[in-house]
């Protein structure tokens, strides 16, 4: 019986989260494998940039890239060293806020294209609210309608939600 060397597949990885100078990559199929994560840490630590470092945790199956890492470079090095194949996103359900946000992003892009880059959704909302306020002021109505306050606060929460997550990561990867 001849022994053939079985070529192992590169494990799939995905971005768990990404914020300023922190990118967490999860590799679920390697959970608990200390040797694999030690090798990953060695592969990404052999550079001269002192601002960059990697912290691995085999129990959570994750690697945390700290410093000025590029997703493109992480994906390329992971693939070339046959440590992992970084996917653009993990299949997951999109939250309601994420769905609304992506709809607004598309509408904002369309408005920017239509107006030649002069108007975006926040500008239109601002102008509409100021116009409505001037109209109400001109007619002597000094109390704002309840929808105005609710809408304004909802928009404020939405715009400050800080959701950069996986949607923007996909564009950076590919």
In a 3-state reduction of DSSP, which class is residue 108? Answer: helix
pLDDT reported for residue 38: 94
pLDDT reported for residue 63: 94
pLDDT reported for residue 158: 64
CATH number listed for the domain at residues 12-86: 3.30.70
Please, what are the averages of pLDDT over each run of 10 residues along the chain (174 residues)? 57 89 92 94 77 90 90 91 83 71 84 88 76 77 64 67 45 45
What are the residue ranges spanned by the domains of the chain?
12-86, 96-161
Residue ranges with strand state E in the chain: 12-19, 22-26, 53-57, 62-66, 85-86
pLDDT reported for residue 57: 94
Residue 78: name the closest of 23, 156, 134 by CA. 23
How would you class 136 by CB atoms within 10 Å of its CB: exposed for 0-12, middle for 13-18, buried for 19 or more?
Answer: middle
Four-CA torsion 132, 135, 140, 143, nearest 10 degrees = 0
């Amino acid at each position: 019986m001849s022994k053939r060397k079985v070529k192992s597949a590169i494990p799939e990885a995905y971005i768990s989260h990404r914020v300023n100078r922190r990118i967490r990559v999860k590799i679920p199929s390697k959970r608990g494998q200390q040797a694999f994560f030690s090798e990953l840490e060695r592969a990404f630590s052999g550079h001269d940039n002192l601002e960059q470092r990697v912290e691995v945790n085999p129990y959570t199956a994750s690697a945390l890239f700290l410093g000025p890492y590029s997703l493109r470079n992480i994906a390329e090095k992971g693939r070339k060293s046959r440590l992992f194949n970084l996917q653009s996103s993990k299949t997951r359900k999109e939250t309601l806020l994420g769905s609304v946000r992506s709809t607004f992003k598309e509408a904002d892009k369309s408005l920017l294209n239509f107006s030649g880059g002069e108007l975006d959704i926040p500008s239109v909302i601002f102008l509409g609210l100021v116009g409505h306020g001037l109209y109400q002021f001109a007619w002597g109505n000094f109390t704002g309608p309840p929808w105005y306050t609710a809408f304004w606060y909802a928009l404020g929460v939405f715009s400050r939600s800080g959701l950069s997550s996986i949607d923007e990561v996909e564009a950076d990867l590919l």
